[in-house]
Structure 1
Amino acid sequence: MSGTVDRWTTALRRAWKDGTAWPWCLAVLAAACGYAVATVFHPGYLSADSNTQLGQALGDEPVNDWHPPVMALAWRILIAITGDFSTMAALQAAVLWGTLWVLARLVWRRTGSRGLSLVVLAVGLAPHIMNLTGVVWKDVHLAYALLAVFAIALTVRDLPEGRVRTRWALLVLGLLFLTYAALVRKNGIPAAIPVFVLLVLAAWPAPGRRRWLAATGVFVAVVTGGSAAVNAATAPLATRVYAVIPVDDLVHVLTPEQVRTAAERAGAETDLRDRMVAAAVTCRDRNITSDGYLQCFPQRRPFDVTYLDRHADVVVRMWTQQMPKHWKGYAEYRGRVFTKLLFRSNQIFWNGTRVNAGARLHPEVRAQPLNDTLRFALQNYVTGFARDLPMLFQGWFWLGVSLVLVLRRRWAGPYTRELRLLGASSLLYVLAYLPTAPESNYRYVYWPALSGTVALVLVATAFAARRRTAAAGAPDTRPAALPAGRTPGTAPEPAAPAGPREDTGAAV
C-alpha cells in the first residue's frame, strides 16, 4: 500500500512540475467559482422580461415573439429535464465559467504561466461581469453564447491537422452557439457577423470565395431553419415589437398636435390616434425621454402584446411620412438617447426581488426566495466598484475599447486578427443601438463589456509573457506558441510541417 501511495505522490509531483496537471487545476477552480456564483444568484434573478418568459416556459401563458421564443423553449426543455426553473441561471454560470476555463487553458498552453491563466479565470469575478451572471436575460445569453464561439474558434485554430473529427465537432458546436445568439437577441445579428467570420477563419485561415459563400449559406440556412423549428415548437403570437421604435420617435420628435395630424394622414384608427397623442402629452409632461411605448402609451390591463401587431403598418407609415420632414429633430433625439446609453447606463445591479410596476414575480420564484445575505454582499461589491470605477459600467468606455481593438494593426501575442474581430463585434453591437435604443440600460452594453474585458486580459497576458521572455534573455521577444498537443514543461516533439493551425493571426 505504501508503495502505491509513493507512486501516486511521485506521479502527482511530476504532473505538477511539468504542467500536465495545471489544466485540471484550472478546471477545478472554474467549477468551484461557477458553483459559488450560481449559489449567490440561486434560484436566478428575474426581470419583468424573464418573469414573463418563465410563465411561457411553464405553459402558464402563450409564447409570443415580444421576447425570444428560443429562450422560452430552451427554458421549457431545461424544466422538463430537471423539474426546476433555477437550472437556467445555473446553466448561464456554467457556460461562462466553462468558456473562461477554455480561454485560461489556451493562455496556459501559450505562455506556460500559471498566474496569467488565473487572470483569465478572474474575468468571471469582475464586478461588471458578475453583476448579471445569474440574471436570466436575453442580453446575458447573447454575451455568453458569443464568448463561447470565440473560445471554440481559438481552440479550433490551435488543433493539430490530424484532429479532423474534433475540429468538425467543435465547428458544429460553435455554429449552434452562434445560431442561438442570433435568435435570442433581435439586434444580435450585427454582433454575430464578425464572430462568424472568426469561426470560419479558425477552420480555414485563408478561405476562398467559394468557401466563404458555402459557409455563409450554411450559417443563413441554420439560422433560418432554427427559427422555423422554434416557431413550429412554440407557435408564438405575432407582436411586431419593432414598431415600438417608430412610436418612440414619433411621440418624442413631434408635438402632440403634429402626432394627431400625422395619425390622421396615415389613416390611423381613432383609438390608435388618441393613444399616440396621449403618449406624446404624457412624455412631455413627465419629462420621459425614452421608451415611450411602455412608459407613456396608454395600456389596458392585462397588457395586450398583440396591439402593435394590429397597428404596426400604420405606425411605420406615420414614421416614414414624418421623419424625413423632421430629420433634424429625429437626429437630435436619437443622439440624446444614444449618449445617455453611453454615459448614464442604469440598472448596473438587478435586485432580483421585484419586477416592473403592475407585475409580480411568478409564484414558482416567490416560493424560492433569494438569499438576502448573499444578495446584499453582491450588491455592495458591485455598487462599490460602480462608485470607484464607474467607467467599467458605462458604454463609452467599452465603445472606446472596441475602437482601439479594431484600429490597432497588431497586438502582442498570436491573436491579433481574433482580437480585431472581437472588437468589431462589440463596435457593431453598440452602434446598432444608435437608431434603436429604447432606453439607457447597462445590459445593452453587457456584451461589449464582457468581450472588451476578455480582449484586454488577453492583450495584457501577451505583453506580460513577452516581457518575461525578454527578461530571460531569449532572442525572440514574442512569447513562443507551443505546438498543438504539447503542455508546458514537456519534451519537444519531432518537427512537423507547419499547418494552418499555426497561423500567427496577422492583421486582416
Structure 2
Amino acid sequence: MPSVRSDRRWTIAVRGAWKDGTLWPWCLAAVAAACGYGVATVFHPGYLSADSNTQLGQALGDEPVNDWHPPVMALAWRVLIAVTGNFSVMAAVQAAVLWGTLWVLARLVWTKTRSRGLSLAVLAVGFAPHIMNLTGVVWKDVHLAYALLAVFAIALTVRELPPDRVRTRWALLVAGVLFLTYAALVRKNGIPAAIPVFALLVLAAWPVPGRRRWQAATAVFAAAVLAGGAGVSAATHPLATKVYAVIPVDDLVHVLTPDQVRAAAEQAGASADLRDGLVAAAVTCRQRNIASDAYLQCFPQRRPFDVTYLDRRADVIVRMWTQQMPKHWKGYAEYRTRVFTKLLFRSNQVFWNGTRVNAGARLHPEVREQPLNDTLRFALQNYVTGFARDLPMLFQGWFWLAVSLVLVLRRWWPGPYSRELRLLGASSLLYILAYLPTAPESNYRYVYWPALSGTVALTLVATAFAARRRAAAAGEPDARPAALPAGRAEAAPAGPREGAGAAG
C-alpha cells in the first residue's frame, strides 16, 4: 500500500511539474542531448580536411606544430586525445558545444514565451542544412562560430540572472571570456567578429557601463588573449610561418603582369628563387584562370611542403606590395572586388565529403582505421546538397550579408533582445567585410559564422513575433517598450539588471 501511495504522489508531482512548466527545460535538455548524440554519430569519427588532417598530426605529435594553422586548436585536440585516447572526441565536442548552446537559448525562449513549440524551434536550428553540414567537420571556422555563439548564449543568460546570483554571474562571465579568447586565437581574422560579441558580454553584466568599466573590461579581454597566446606558444613551441604573406602574394601575381612582377621583385631586393617563383605563379594563374589562392595553387612548391618558406621571405613580399599596390590601386580594387563577389555569390564546398583531403595530402592512418559510415554520409550529403540546389541562398555569403545588415540597421526588434540581435548582426557584418581585402578563395566555411548567427537571430525574431501574436490573441498588453529618447531605449527594462550591475 505505501508503494502505491508513493507512486501516486510521484505521478501527481510529475504531472504538476509538466503543467507548470518546471519539467520542460529538462525535456529540452534531453532532446538536445539526443540530437547532439545523433549528429555526432553521423559525423563519427569526424570529417577532416587537409587543414584538420595536418592539425591532427600535430596533436598526436607526428609533426611539429606551426602557426600556419591555429596552435590553440592543435593544443586543445592534444589535450582531448590525452584525456580520452581517441581523436574522434574533437568532432563530438563540437556537436556538444553547439547543441548545449542551443539548449541554453531554447530554455531562454521557453522562459520568455512559455511556448514549447517555440523553444523546440530554437533547437531545430541545429538541423538546418546550412548549419548541420559542417557540425562534424573539424575546422577552425566551425570552432570560431560555436565559441562565439556560446558567448552569445552566456551573455543572454547573465542578463536574466537575478541580482543575488553574484557567483553564478561571475562564473558565467569567466566562461564567456574563455570562449571569446579561444575564438580570437583559433581564427586569425576572428577579432572583428569577436568585438561586438565582447560588447554584448559587457552589456549583459552592466547594462549601462561607464567609461572606466569599458576600459577595464577591454583590458581584461586583451590580457586574456595575450596571455592565452603566450601560454599556447609556451606549450606548443610553434614554428613561425608568417602565413599572412599569402595575401600580398595573391595581390601581386593577379594585379601585376609577369614582367611587372619580375621588375617589382628586383626593385624590392627579392632573392632569385622568390622572384622566379612569383613570376611562375603569375604565369600559371593566368594560364589556368585561377583567380585566388595563388601561393598554394600556382606558386611552384617543393615536396614535402615547406611551411617556413614564407617566414624567411615575408618582409620582401610585403615590401613589394607596399611599393606596387599604390601605383596599381585601380587594378587592386578591381581584383579584390572580383574575389569578394565570388565569395558572396559562388561559395563552394557546402558539403565536405570527409573521406579525402585536398592539396595532395593523405588522411592520417588513425583516421583511415576508423572509416566513416557511408550510409549516413550519403544521407547527409543528399540532405545538404538538395537544399543547396533548392534554396541556394542559405549557402551564399550575399544572403547572410543582407541579414546582418538588416539586423544592424533596424532600430528595434520585437522581444527582449533587440540590442543583442543588433550586436550579433554587427559581428557577422564585420566578419564578412573583413574578407574584402583578405579573402584567399571562395569557400562556404568563410561565411559559416554569419550563417549560424543569422539563423539564430532570425529564429529569435520569429519566436518573438509569434509570442506577440499569441499575446495579442489572448488580450494581453503589447510587450513592446514605450518610446524613449534616443540613446535610452535599451536601458528601459532595467529592473533586476540594475541590481545585477551593482552586485557585479
Q: TM-score range by the shorter chain?
A: over 0.9
1:411 equivalent among 392, 404, 413: 413
**Contact 2:357/2:363 (<8 A) preserved:** yes
1:194 equivalent among 185, 192, 196: 196
Deviations 1:240-266 (A, max 9, x none): 000000000000000000000000000
Aligned to 1:484: none
**Contact 2:67/2:240 (<8 A) preserved:** yes
2:472 equivalent among 470, 473, 498: 470
> Equivalences for 1:105-504 in 2 at 5 Å?
105-478=107-480, 498-500=495-497
- Partner amino acid for 1:216? T
**Contact 2:163/2:499 (<8 A) preserved:** no
Deviations 1:281-313 (A, max 9, x none): 000000001100000000000000000000000
Aligned to 1:5: 7
Cα distance in 2, alignment partners of residues 358 and 501 from structure 1: 58
SS across alignment from 2:14 = helix
2:77 is aligned with 1:80: no
Deviation at 1:7, TM superposition (A): 1.1
**Contact 1:266/1:314 (<8 A) preserved:** yes
Deviations 1:160-205 (A, max 9, x none): 0000000000000000000000000000000000000000000000
Deviations 1:375-394 (A, max 9, x none): 00000000000001000000
1:101 equivalent among 97, 100, 103: 103
Cα distance in 2, alignment partners of residues 231 and 22 from structure 1: 44
Cα distance in 2, alignment partners of residues 334 and 428 from structure 1: 17
Deviation at 1:502, TM superposition (A): 9.3
Aligned length: 486
Deviation at 1:476, TM superposition (A): 2.9
Cα distance in 2, alignment partners of residues 264 and 498 from structure 1: 67
Runs of 5+ consecutive residues of structure 2 not aligned to the other structure? 482-493
Aligned to 2:487: none
**Contact 1:157/1:502 (<8 A) preserved:** no
Cα distance in 2, alignment partners of residues 258 and 169 from structure 1: 57
The 1:502/1:404 distance shift into structure 2, 3 A limit, reads farther
Cα distance in 1, alignment partners of residues 408 and 44 from structure 2: 38
For the aligned residues, what is the CA RMSD? Answer: 1.1
- Partner amino acid for 1:240? K
**TM-score scaled by length of structure 2:** 0.95
Cα distance in 2, alignment partners of residues 94 and 235 from structure 1: 29
- Partner amino acid for 1:45? Y
SS across alignment from 2:313 = helix
Cα distance in 2, alignment partners of residues 209 and 333 from structure 1: 41
1:89 equivalent among 91, 112, 125: 91
**Contact 1:470/1:477 (<8 A) preserved:** no
Deviations 1:423-452 (A, max 9, x none): 000000000000000000000000000000
The 1:151/1:477 distance shift into structure 2, 3 A limit, reads closer
Cα distance in 2, alignment partners of residues 501 and 276 from structure 1: 60
**Contact 2:50/2:359 (<8 A) preserved:** no
Cα distance in 2, alignment partners of residues 477 and 282 from structure 1: 61
**TM-score scaled by length of structure 1:** 0.95
Cα distance in 2, alignment partners of residues 8 and 384 from structure 1: 47
Aligned to 2:68: 66
Deviation at 1:498, TM superposition (A): 2.4
- Partner amino acid for 1:18? D
Deviation at 1:234, TM superposition (A): 0.1
Deviations 1:383-414 (A, max 9, x none): 00000100000000000000000000000001
Cα distance in 2, alignment partners of residues 245 and 195 from structure 1: 27
Deviations 1:101-160 (A, max 9, x none): 000000000000000000000000000000000000000000000000000000000000
Deviations 1:78-105 (A, max 9, x none): 0000000000000000000000000000
Runs of 5+ consecutive residues of structure 1 not aligned to the other structure? 480-496, 504-508
Aligned to 1:490: none
Deviation at 1:499, TM superposition (A): 2.2
